[in-house]
Amino acid sequence: MSPPGRSTAVDPERRRDAERTKAEILKIATEEFAQRGYAGARVDEIAARTQTTKRMIYYYFGGKERLYIAVLESAYAEIRVAEQSLAVEHLDPVSAIRTLAEVTFDHHESHPDFVRLVSTENIHRAEHIAKSQALTNLTNPAIDLIATVLEAGREQGVFTADIDAVDLHMLISSFCFFRVANRHTFGTLFGRDLTDPARRDHYRQMLGDIVVGHLTSPGGAGGGTSGPTTAAR
């Protein structure tokens, strides 16, 4: 027991714990940076929302920018873990790709803060990510997984489109990302709440149909009717 009446008013039982303090700062900072962006977030506000003080932010993270980079690193680490624990090898290629798209969809759905951080980081032209070796020096399990499934699908003759893994990942990500990142302007301007739970399954299914449909399209690479493309411009 700590001496009664001597510790902070917040929690008489609170003990010194570096890891807990660091983790708490990181958690609150993630929320603040995600909600207000890098420039809009306030170090004082982050400190106020923790059980500790601003001093600790500088003690453990060294400054606002370094804290922000730490937030990005932990956010990306989380999705890497999720991607690595994804097992679709036992599925047939079509089911595997659909599952992969759905998992990506669900991950964006359940991690809006991550989506907002990525948006913010793109406003800053990925300059902070570029400073982090932990983020740049890393292979991407999602791409490898997609590449494996794509190859299997082609060998079995069910995938006809000649799309590569990175482009397919972009196709999937763009749909998932936009629905979460741009829901506010889209909802305001088009009167449709993209993240309405009642419509969520519809969009998940739609994504799967589009991805699978594209990969298995009868025309194969290029889609066949590319005549109008050049004619139109």
Partner DNA sequence: GACGTAATGTACGAACTAGTACGTCACTTA
Partner DNA sequence: TAAGTGACGTACTAGTTCGTACATTACGTC
Interface with DNA includes 30 (CB under 7 A)? no
Interface with a copy of itself includes 60 (CB under 8 A)? no
Interface with a copy of itself includes 182 (CB under 8 A)? yes
CA distance 192 to 25: 36
Least Cβ distance, residue 53 to a copy of itself (angstroms)? 24
Q: Are residues 143 and 197 in contact, defined by beta-carbon separation less than 8 angstroms?
A: no
User: In terms of C-beta density within 10 A (0-12 exposed, 13-18 middle, 19 or more buried), how is residue 63 classed?
Assistant: exposed
Name residues contacting a copy of itself, limited to 73-92 (CB under 8 A): 91-92
* Helices vs. strands in the chain: H and E counts, helices first: 13, 0
Identified binder of DNA from the candidate list 12, 23, 35, 42, rule CB under 7 A: 42
Interface with DNA includes 18 (CB under 7 A)? yes
Nearest residue (CB) to DNA, 15 versus 125: 15
Q: Which stretch binds a copy of itself (CB under 8 A): 1-9, 11-19, 54-62, 124-132?
A: 124-132
CA distance 202 to 134: 37
**Closest to 120 measured CA to CA, from 181, 161, 78:** 181
Name residues contacting DNA, limited to 57-76 (CB under 7 A): 58-59, 63-65
Interface with a copy of itself includes 50 (CB under 8 A)? no
Identified binder of DNA from the candidate list 49, 56, 112, 182, rule CB under 7 A: 56
CA distance 94 to 118: 29
